[in-house]
Structure 1
Amino acid sequence: MDRVLLRRDGAAVVATVCAEDGTPGAATVLPAGELPGWVAAREAAGAVRWVWDDTTRWYPALLDAGVRVERCTDLRLSAAVLRRSPYAGPTPAPDPGWAALEPVTAGDPALFDLADPADSLDPLAEHRRQQAAVAASPHRGRLGLLLAAESSGALAAAEMTWAGLPWRADEHGRLLTGLLGDRPPPGLRPPVLERLAGEVRAALRAPDLNPDSPVALLRALQTAGLPVEDTRSWTLERYEHPVVPPLLEYKRLARLLAANGWAWLDAWVRDGRFRPVFLPGGVVTGRWASSGGGALSVPVQVRPAAVADDGWRLVVADVAQLEPRVLAGMSRDAALADAARAADLYAGMVAAGVVATRAEAKLGVLGALYGGTRGESGRMMPRLARRYPRAIGLVEDAARTGERGAVVHTLLGRGSPVPGGAWAQEAADLGEAPEPAGRDTDRARRAWGRFTRNFVVQGTGAEWALCWVADLRNRLWRLGPGEPLHRRPHLVFFLHDEVVVHTPAYLAEEVGEQVRQAAATAGRLLFGDFPLDFPLDVAAVRSWADAG
């Protein structure tokens, strides 16, 4: 496979063919405007991996020109992984500019900005450094898979932003009107919120209260005799008082208005598409983030507005209990893998006689993943430790490692950040957990242990999901030969353990099968022949809300 590194040189682009270790070979200089055609020709000629500083700086303009690429190496994302990975082999220190380089999330649709900080970096030198770090790794295969999946995720993210999630602005408007009343003039509340605000004021005997002010609301609640210390919904739910029902409803609808109201609709939906900017690796565990639009928290109230085009369907798929299944695979715990062979892992634990009820199973597993050692989840832990010693041992070891101030890592080698604070420095110096110097120090140490306990599992879950998306992306491309990206089945949404594909209706069943096969492939890539199932809920629907 050819590796072709692209870099800017003024108004031109230099394309350099590189050896596997990054050694440069023949170079081609071409005007920026000719790049899309040149890339398309190389893609058609055979397998090629494009190496560039950052996918967000190169790929959107190629997509605008109708060019889709199959593989890339994103040096910015790879540098971030290698910076923390304990799997990376020794190399010279990278240019600090790579750590400071930010993705492009909005702006000029031109190929690249004339004043881009990426231009001060040397992508060829960084590529060679990264290839050396992987070559010298004691876990070269795992680390190489992680970097390839991260870069493929960057391509998928750019394509999802470019294609957009089908969104009916008229339907969204009807939903808002049904819930909130007619759209008000700027600065005023919708009718339903104004009515609820009046009910809250009346119940609290506070005619001038602004329920959007937490300070004023807390004072009014306390004056009315409610012994609350905050205005959170779960705090209010514990009390019986005439103000509670209208206030809870007010808070629910106010959140909807702020997050996905008419202003959101005006800002984020264009030409029948919602186009958020997805940010692979945006969370320290490797999970994605998003920029603007709240793409990773679209509430169920507005999902009926996500409607497939005429003659098309949305194929919605999510994996059940991803993190416990990943824990079974990375710990090679055969008993937990047996439970995971059930569509509902928690039901599988009940069937195996580990716990009496599904609720107990869920509490116990969540306690293991998030460090719940008290209450009902803590009561379940001894049973889980006896039945699943390898799985529970893995997360316990990760917690103890974090409490010592040391780094933990995912299955493929993403490293956790180093903790801050005096206790962490002392732990690093001693190589072990320091004696508690006080309640706050001990609390910080244990909190970091809970973080590292979850980091190893959540991060490995993110790796599985990246491999799933990477394989699915290419499978979908093969379903529509001769058609451009937006006329074939294509990904339009991804959130941790859920994907949404927009597809011609006649291909919906085949897309569902490809989604399942990609999940199986991801399992084999990470866990080899270890017997582990990743069952999916898959639905082909007109509206996202119909997927359940």
Structure 2
Amino acid sequence: MEVALVHGRGGEGWTMPLPGGAVTYHADLAAAVTAIETEARGGFDSGAGGPEDDHQTATAHASSRAGAGAGAGAGAGVAEKDRNGGLRSGHDQDAPGRADFGHGHPASPRWVLADAAQDYPPLLQAGARLDRCRDLRLAERILSRVEGREPPAVTAESDPDAGTLFEREPEPVDGPAILVRLQATWLDQRRRTAAADIAGLGTLLAAESAGALVAAEMSRTGVPFDRGVHDRLLRDLLGPRPTKGMRPRKLQALADKVIDAFGHQLNPDSTKQVLAAFHAAGLDVKNTHSWELASVDHPAVEALKVYREHARVWSAFGWNWADSWVSAAGAPGAEADPALADRGRFRPVYMVGGADTGRWGTDGGGALQLPHAVREAIRAEPGWKLVAADAAQLEPRLLAAISGDRAMIAATAADDLYTELAPRLGGERSKAKIALISAMYGGTAGDAAQLVQLMKDRFPAAFHRVESAARTGEKGGLVRTWLGRTVPAPSERWWQTLNSEDGTRSATGRGRFTRNFIVQGTAAEWALVLLAVLRRELHERDLGELVFFLHDEVVVHCPAEHAAAVGEVIEQAAHTATTTLFGDMPVRIPLRPKVVDSYSEAK
């Protein structure tokens, strides 16, 4: 069952079963959603087929495809429909309940939302939880790019006042009319999904929407954060908090070292002034990026590097950042124990699919760039633990899977893939790592070219997969991830550039992007399924709260007595994500849970 949902004013709203059901008005939308979820679960017939049945169907399709593509030539057709990732045939890829990989209760409604990032937080605030949803905005972005075009700015509007520049009297919400538009978009997307005939597309759409629920819930839950520890870390690194307009004492001392190295006054935060200082010293420095300065012989280089590292912590993750992004509310029991008064929650705003590859981003808060200098402040509350886990060498393992390279797939059985491959890729772990990363990212500097040639000789299917993606991208073609996320089509300006003197550079740059797109994008898909399964298991077993996600890493906050069980759930979720994408293909992607008190202890 799929049900469209529209918010009104003051907690009211409307729902409509799709397609063509009756519109129902609810004075308390959150209460109605909770009642519908509860009733659906209570009326579930266990004989109708549950998550296990869906998962078996999914893995059967994946197994069939994996078996057909495990030969030496697997992965040759980068954008061909039969290579685009797949768990289902085209006719059932978007059928309700068939693309959920066990995500959510099978009897729960799938709520159809214009934009979960806007529509779900008010429900969470009111105490309602959605088991699963279909996010039309996220789906439109995926489908538009499958069709070789960019998505519209607005797919379906659920709030007529959204984006209003000036305050005005709120207009009445015409819920039934908005539901009609949502239904039209929903029907159109279902038709286009089937027409695309990409076997994994339904699973990708379900996973992306599940990610939207996870993102909203993590933002509301927040990461447990100790402002007292954060202040201590900043004081140790930078000195006491300064008055407005001044640098912290220790940071100013580092700035003075930069000034002394150049021998005259300048602002080390000014790229223009730093470049001018290098030029005045007779050095032809093009920019102040670290890789440009690495080969520059001048005493200011090291001083500038250290200053910038510290300055970034101050400006991006210092006291002002904590004032803006960490809640002031103390942990439970703070009234009795003043030491708990500094406990709060860091609540970033996540952007699902913020990057073209499907990787997440953040709309403020910088959660995905937290420096090690402040990670100690992320601390479990008393009586609780953090269970952190990251996937070991995720992208190289997924390259093995999407290419069907038998030798490389066999090597994924090892805990350390680089060590396992070292005898065949230069004899040293470091060289094996360079070979794999260079193949995936197009590196040729130093020993990379020779090591990539070894990669080509020893693992031809894996090499051909990324090389073919690069060549397709250079020609302006489209490539897709395992489940079907499609690279953005080249702009008109890009095509025009091909005929100019910068044409080769533009083609090479796009080829480098498409080379990695198929791997990094598949990694994002794997992570989405992991999150969806982990979200379900943590909720159904009441084990803890998912509080943080970074590309291939998850952090769960849980009572200490549940930590071991949470670790097992994380490992099982990783296994489910792997089998959901690849069936019984013997690729291994280990996720290593670690129980810690502070995030700084996780690595």
TM alignment of 1:111-126, pairs within 5 A: 122-126=181-185
**CA displacement at 1:239 relative to structure 2:** 4.5
CA distance in 2, matches of 1:101, 1:27: 15
Aligned to 1:386: 457
Could you say which structure has the greater relative contact order, defined with CA pairs below 8 angstroms and 6 or more residues apart?
A: 2
**Structure 1 residues 507-540: Cα deviation after superposition (integer angstroms, max 9, x where no partner):** 0011011101000101011111110101122111
Match of 1:264 among 302, 321, 333: 321
Does residue 78 of the first structure (1) align with residue 163 of the second (2)? no
CA distance in 2, matches of 1:44, 1:177: 50
Identify the match of residue 328 of structure 1 among 384, 392, 400. 400
Deviations 1:323-346 (A, max 9, x none): 111111111111111122111111
- Report if aligned partners of 2:114, 2:156 keep a CA contact under 8 Å in 1: no
SS at match of 2:21: strand
CA contact (8 A) 2:527 2:577 kept: yes
* C-alpha contact (below 8 Å) 1:350/1:356 kept by paired residues: yes
- Asked if the contact 1:4/1:15 (under 8 Å) is kept, the reply is yes
Separation of aligned partners in 1, 2:263 and 2:217: 54
Per the TM alignment, residue 24 of structure 1 is displaced from its structure 2 partner at its CA by: 1.5
More displaced, 211-220 or 69-78?
211-220
Q: Distance in 1 between matches of 2:153 and 2:302?
A: 54
Is the Cα–Cα contact under 8 Å of residues 13 and 29 in structure 2 kept in the other structure? yes
Distance 1:276 1:423 in 2: 35
Match of residue 370 from structure 1: 441
Q: Which residue of 2 aligns with 1:186?
A: 244
- Residue aligned with 1:419, SS: coil
Total equivalences in the alignment: 512
The residue aligned with 1:4 is 3
Quickly say closer, same or farther: Cα 1:134–1:471, change in 2 above 3 A: same
CA change 1:529–1:157 in 2 (3 A) is: same
Q: CA deviation at 1:136?
A: 3.3
Measured in 1, the distance between the counterparts of 2:525 and 2:317 equals 30
Contact 2:7 / 2:29 at 8 angstroms: preserved in 1?
no
The DSSP-based 3-state class of the residue aligned with 1:478 is helix
Residue 38 (str. 1) matches residue 32 (str. 2): yes
Q: 1:133 aligns with which of 192, 209, 219?
A: 192
Aligned partners of 1:94 and 1:345: how far apart in 2? 38
Mark the CA change 1:399 to 1:501 in structure 2 (over 3 Å): closer, same or farther: same
User: Residues 105 and 215 from structure 1, CA distance in 2 versus in 1: closer, same or farther, beyond 3 angstroms?
Assistant: farther
What is the DSSP-based 3-state SS (H/G/I as helix, E as strand, rest coil) of the residue aligned with 1:402? helix
Q: In structure 1, the residue corresponding to 2:595 is in which secondary structure?
A: strand
SS in 1 for 2:353: coil
What does 1:197-216 align with in structure 2 at a 5 Å threshold? Answer: 197-206=255-264, 208-216=265-273
* Aligned residue in 1 for 2:23: 27
1:292-323, Cα deviation, whole Å (9 max, x unpaired): 11111000000000001111111111001111
Query: Does residue 489 of the first structure (1) align with residue 483 of the second (2)?
Result: no
The answer to whether the 8 A contact 2:9-2:173 is kept is: no
In 1, are the aligned partners of 2:352 and 2:361 still within 8 Å (CA)? Answer: yes
Which residue does 1:361 correspond to in 2? 432
* Partner residue, 1:280: 352
Amino acid at match of 1:53: A
Q: Deviations over 1:35-79 (max 9, x none)?
A: 111111111122221111111222112211222221111111111
- 1:456 aligned to 2:518? yes
Whether the aligned pair in 2 keeps the contact of 1:86 and 1:409 (CA below 8 Å) is no
Q: 1:131 to 1:522 in 2, by over 3 A?
A: same
| Structure 2 residue 409 is the aligned partner of structure 1 residue 337 | yes
Q: 1:60 aligns with which of 121, 137, 140?
A: 121
* Aligned residue in 1 for 2:384: 312
Q: Partners in 2 of 1:357 and 1:94 — Cα distance?
A: 46
Task: Check 1:391–1:254 CA distance in 2 against 1; reply closer, same or farther (3 A cut).
Answer: same
SS in 2 for 1:197: helix
Percent of aligned positions with the same letter in both sequences? 44
Q: Cα deviation per residue 1:100-123 (whole Å; 9 max; x = unaligned)?
A: 999x9999xxxxx86999987811
- The answer to whether the 8 A contact 1:54-1:74 is kept is yes
Summarize deviations over 1:442-480 as a string: whole Å, max 9, x none. 111111111111111111111011011111110111221
Specify every segment of 5 or more residues in structure 2 that has no aligned partner in the other structure, as ranges.
42-107, 165-169, 330-343
- 3-state secondary structure, aligned to 2:243: coil
Kindly state the Cα deviation for residue 377 of structure 1 after the two structures are TM-superposed.
1.4
AA of the residue aligned to 2:508:
R
Q: Residue 473 of structure 1 corresponds to which residue in structure 2?
A: 535
1:502 aligns with 2:560: no
Q: 1:244: how far off?
A: 3.7
What letter corresponds to residue 111 of structure 2 in structure 1?
Answer: W
Amino acid at match of 1:469: L
For the Cα contact (< 8 Å) 2:223–2:378, is it kept in 1?
A: yes
Letter in 2 for 1:52: L
Find 2:213's aligned residue among 155, 176, 191.
155
- Work out the CA distance in 2 between the residues paired with 1:133 and 1:325: 32
Structure 1 CA distance for aligned equivalents of residues 174 and 306 of structure 2 = 47
- Distance (whole Å) between structure 1 residues aligned to residue 17 and residue 345 of structure 2: 38
Deviation at 1:242, TM superposition (A): 3.9
Give 3-state SS (helix, strand or coil) of 1:97's partner.
coil
Deviations 1:9-39 (A, max 9, x none): 6775221112xxxx222331122xx111111
The separation in 2 between residues aligned to 1:225 and 1:453, in whole angstroms, is: 39
Change (3 A) 1:94 1:369: closer
Task: For residues 197-230 of structure 1, give each alpha carbon's deviation from its aligned partner in whole angstroms, at most 9, with x where no partner exists.
Answer: 2232223221x32222121122223334555333
- Mapped to 1, the partners of 2:113 and 2:531 lie a distance apart of 21
- Aligned residues: CA RMSD: 2.7
Task: Specify which of 570, 574, 577 is matched with residue 515 of structure 1.
Answer: 570
Aligned counterparts of 1:8 and 1:250: Cα–Cα separation in 2: 49
Rounded to whole Å, the distance in 1 between the matches of 2:30 and 2:494 is 53
Deviation at 1:404, TM superposition (A): 1.5
Aligned with 2:508 (options 423, 446, 451): 446
Q: Tell me the amino acid that sits aligned with residue 5 of structure 1.
A: A
- Please tell me the residue identity of whatever aligns with 2:354: G
Residues 441 and 120 of structure 1: CA distance in aligned 2, closer, same or farther (over 3 Å): farther
User: Where does residue 530 of structure 1 map in the other structure?
Assistant: 585
